[in-house]
Amino acid sequence: MEQLDEIDLKLLKILGNDSSYTIKELAAKVNLTPSPVVQRVKRLETNGYIKKYIALLDPEKFNQGFIVFCNIRLKQHDRKVGHSFVADILKIEEVVECYNISGDYDFFLKVYAKDMKHYQDFVFNKLGSVESIGSTHSTFVMAEIKNTHNISF
């Protein structure tokens, strides 16, 4: 891994919190001229420190503010079943995050829904059509306390 200096780390922290800054604004924040900031940001992108830039949408504005964490146990643990599950989950829009985990469950999903009725429909009609699922366990979010995509370093 290449060495990142203090300015690189500062740029990453700034962009991790808000990627909408212009190069001129970034340059002012790190006390450099725009030209070296462009070069640094390009290098950080090329080397994979910055994967992509996105707009974080507010699910409430789209009537999708009901958040559910769903634990999944597969029917069997073999390559075919695992690949089949992943292929099916990638097609389901309500699933916004999916992690392969260790412990009592095999996968952990974050799901956005309109309300409990919509989530019930999702479980019966979408998750229910995924043949590789053995069992599910749902946890409903009462309030979001912290949600950041920045990394501590």
Domain with residue 135: its CATH number is 3.30.70.920
54 occurs within a structural domain: no
Which residues constitute the domain of residue 30? 6-46
pLDDT (0 to 100) of residue 3: 87
For position 153, what pLDDT does the model report?
82
- CB neighbourhood size of 122 (10 A): 22
pLDDT at 17: 92
Residue 16 tokens, joined: 């991790």
Per-residue pLDDT of the chain (153 residues; tens, 9 = 90+): 578 999 999 999 999 999 999 999 999 999 999 999 999 999 999 999 999 999 999 999 999 999 999 999 999 999 999 999 999 999 999 999 999 999 999 999 999 999 999 999 999 999 999 999 999 999 999 999 998 888 888
Number of structural domains, the chain? 2
Provide the pLDDT for residue 149.
Answer: 84
- Predicted pLDDT at 52: 95
CB 134 within 8 A of CB 60: no
Residues 130 and 107 in one domain: yes
Q: Is residue 51 part of a domain?
A: no
Alpha carbons 121 and 107: distance in angstroms, whole number: 20
pLDDT of 72 = 98
Q: Which residues pair with 72 in a beta bridge?
A: 107, 136
The tokens describing 36, both together, are: 């070296």
Same-domain check for residues 70 and 113: yes
Q: What's the confidence (pLDDT) of residue 1?
A: 54
